[in-house]
Structure 1
Amino acid sequence: FLSLYLIFFAYVPQYHKLQFRFIYRQYPLPYDFGNAYYAFTYGPARHIVLSSYSNMDPGSKQYTWLVDQLNEVDRSVTPWLFVSLHCPIYNSFRLHRREPQLLHAKRFLEPLFVSHHVNMVFAGHVHAYMRTKPVIYDEVNDAGPIYVIVGNGGRQANAPYHRDEAEEWVLLRDHAEFGYGVLDIINSTHAFWEWEQTGFNAPEEAGKLGRYEPIEGQSDRGYVQNQFFLKK
């Protein structure tokens, strides 16, 4: 087994000036907007980390770099392909739904993720948890990427839902509990994902959005199949 722990997330750029200043000084790389995107290999997985706050339109530095990175992935060497970025492309919550960086990512990046058979896309930004079913352009499709929001690692976990009934592509969502994710890569075709809950807001820590009661017994754990081997 090879485990990847996601407590979102050491060097995924976020919209905080002090964080950017620290990252830029400590890790000077030749990319625009404070060396905000990079890639690395860990075991049988290739990880691509993007910047939600750098230009991602076709022709931009980040977009061109991403296309090159995706084209260079050898799935016989790294059969798993993961992408991380701060702002989610799929979002079942009321907050942050119409921000330009989310809309641009869905318009310009999702087609790349689909065509290159990205397995999972991890995000934060929304202070809640969500995992989608495999999805392509808002339609459930076994060959599509799985999108995960792990934004409930510390501050109040209380993002309101966009609507009471979840979208068809939502596997599970939660806006009451803190937690983090663990991904165990078993082999080239299967991995195991688990959302580890670590607590919930006390009444005096509810914040301006209020507090939601946790759902007793709710959890998210299960096997993930490598979509690359389902491609047609």
Structure 2
Amino acid sequence: MSSLIKSLALLAFVSTVSAAPAPSCNNATAPMQVRLAYAGDRGMRVSWNTYGQLPKPSVKWGKDIDHLNHEDFSDVSITYPSSTTYNNHVLVNHLEPDTLYYYLPQCATTPSTFRTSRKRGDGKPYTFAVVVDLGTMGPDGLSTTTGKGAANPLKPGEINTIQSLAQYKSGFDFLWHPGDIAYADAWLKEEIGGYLPKTTTAGGAAVYERILNDFYDEMTVVTSEKPYMVGPGNHEANCDNGGTTDKTNNITYTYSICVAGQTNFTGLINHFRMPSEESRGLSNFWYSFDHGMVHYVQINTETDFGNGILAPDEPGGSGKENAGPFGRYPNEQIDWLENDLKSVDRKKTPWVIVAGHRPWYLSGTTCLPCQQAFEPLITKYGVDLVLNGHSHVYERQAPLQNGIIDPAGLNNPAAPWYITNGAAGHYDGLDTLPATLQPYTKFALDTVYGWSRFTVHNCTHLTHEFVASANGSVLDTATLFKNRKCELDD
């Protein structure tokens, strides 16, 4: 039995009732934190949370808001120790590609909409959004004040990144968030810094869950309409990251203060359902999906590197998170990645984009084990673009291979293009770039909160924009050109 399956068996309680009447709708069954995820070009996973367990979660759906004449069910209503809610997941299937549907989770009162993914080979242009290192906004997160050790508060009245994404959501097809989701684990650091009231360490579980739920509540305005594709970051692995020492009281905390529900990516495992089944990946750790002209690949830069390479968040790794591994055998992720990349039909999905949380090219701290694990395959199979975060700055790099700048630049390079954008914002603010940037750095910012917007124009041109959350202005833009022929549908 894999570590992931063991983790699920220990930490999740799954409803397996084969049939049950619909429960009465009340506070315990009212849906919240509604979120979507692609499940192939004919499916959509609808997920939401409730305070009580649902015997048989269901979703009604249809093309007409007044005729939701289809209904899908599941047996998945799960929780974990210390959680205050249940996570419900339903696969809505047999849909038409690139089609608008209305849907209604069980006990919801107003239908929402989603649009299914474009079929592989659809050559029509579209836009998608990427955000990394995004945390709760407001009293428990990023606001106009900060605690000790944090910096870059919002200006009074300034629009934050979640609000910006909501403002511009009509302009992108989906949102991709490769790690560091909510920063609920920062509760201890925020308390030590005087930003949140002190609690006992035993009471930290309640603070953690409150921050986590606040984030998902805030994101619902986006995630209930746009597929929200996520991946693992280090802040999903532990509950006291970055704040383990209280110097005033001379107390040093370790991960041992964290209850089971806050460790080992438990929240990530239970809260989301990414298309790993459709892509033969693993849970929400590594998977892929197609959308029109692009093949998207989510990798796990935290655990499961295989080939004798120690990943950062594994026991003994540099992150000291004692998480995972999750694969059924040591090389599973790397084997999967190679099989996935070599199976891509570049005539139908000419663009291949890989996202993982930690960068291995950056003017600052980099992840050498990540480079050792992933760059050989990314280069071998001609990946066009690699997206990372982890450092809370924005930096656009040149196309690179083994640290060498491709002389073609963005004009038909052979090497992958790298972009790091961890400037979305959370309680601790932004990081500071070093005074001297790397030679391969083409543009960098460490003073502005923002997110990435990509436009896939056609088979040969793809544009990236860094969007300032505060006012929607584009502070950096660049277009990648690839000289190739494709077989795309109009």
Shift of 1:122: 0.7
- Cα offset for 1:32? 9.0
Work out the CA distance in 1 between the residues paired with 2:231 and 2:482. 24
Quickly say closer, same or farther: Cα 1:133–1:228, change in 2 above 3 A.
farther
Distance in 2 (alpha carbons) for counterparts of 1:115 and 1:67:
9
SS in structure 2 of the partner of residue 176 of structure 1: coil
Partner of 1:159: 431
2:449 matched residue in structure 1: 178
TM-score (norm 1): 0.80
Query: Radius of gyration: which is bigger?
Result: 2
Gap change, CA 1:33 and 1:66, over 3 Å in 2: closer
Q: Which residue of 2 aligns with 1:110?
A: 375
Give yes or no for contact 2:305–2:333 (8 Å, CA) kept in 1.
yes
Please give the alpha-carbon distance, in whole angstroms, between the structure 2 residues aligned to 1:157 and 1:222: 26
Distance change >3 Å, CA 66–CA 221, structure 1 → 2 = same
Distance 1:115 1:109 in 2: 10
Which residue, out of 126, 137, 141, partners 2:402? 137
Provide the C-alpha distance between the structure 1 equivalents of 2:401 and 2:462, rounded to a whole number of angstroms: 20
How far has the Cα of 1:180 moved from its partner? 0.5
Over 3 Å counting, the alpha-carbon distance change for 1:228 and 1:121 in structure 2 is farther
SS at match of 2:419: strand
Shift of 1:226: 2.7
| Aligned pair partner of 1:11 in 227, 230, 235 | 230
Residues 1:128 and 2:393 are matched in the alignment: yes
- 1:212 is aligned to none
For the residue of structure 2 that corresponds to 1:177, the secondary structure is coil
Change (3 A) 1:33 1:42: closer
Q: Match for residue 475 of structure 2?
A: 219
Compute the displacement of 1:120 (Å).
0.8
Question: Mean alpha-carbon deviation: is it higher for 142-151 or for 64-73?
Answer: 142-151
Counterpart residue identity of residue 291, structure 2: Y
TM value normalised by structure 2: 0.39
Aligned to 1:57: 306
Question: What CA distance in whole angstroms lies between the structure 1 residues aligned with 2:461 and 2:300?
Answer: 28
Amino acid paired to 2:378: F
TM-superposed deviation, 1:45:
0.2
Report the secondary structure of 1:133's partner residue.
strand
Structure 1: segments with no counterpart, 5+ residues: 201-216
Give the match's secondary structure for 2:127: strand
Say which SS state the counterpart of residue 469 (structure 2) adopts: strand
Deviation at 1:124, TM superposition (A): 1.3
Please state whether the residue corresponding to 1:65 is helix, strand or coil.
helix
Match of 2:352 among 81, 84, 94: 81
1:48 maps to 297
The 3-state SS of whatever aligns with 1:78 is: coil
Q: Secondary structure at the match of 1:195?
A: strand
Output the CA distance in 2 between the equivalents of 1:36 and 1:68.
16
| 1:172 counterpart SS class | strand
Are the structure 2 counterparts of residues 119 and 227 from structure 1 closer, same or farther at C-alpha, using a change threshold of 3 Å?
A: farther
CA–CA separation in structure 2 for the residues paired with 1:39 and 1:223? 24
The reply on whether 1:27 has 2:273 as its aligned counterpart is: yes
Structure 1 CA distance for aligned equivalents of residues 369 and 342 of structure 2: 21
Does the residue aligned with 1:11 lie in a helix, a strand or coil?
strand
- Percent identity over the alignment? 21
CA pair 123-46 structure 1, distance change in 2 beyond 3 A: same
Between the aligned partners of 1:69 and 1:11, the Cα distance in structure 2 is 18
Question: Using the alignment, how far apart are the partners of 1:126 and 1:161 within structure 2?
Answer: 9
Partners of 2:358 and 2:451 lie apart in 1 by 17
In 2 relative to 1, CA 34–79 (structure 1 residues): closer, same or farther, beyond 3 Å? closer
SS of the residue aligned with 2:468? strand
Contact 2:297 2:353 in 1 (8 A): yes
List structure 1 runs of 4+ shifted beyond 3 angstroms: 28-35
Larger RCO, structures 1/2 (Cα 8 Å, 6+ apart): 1
RMSD: 2.6
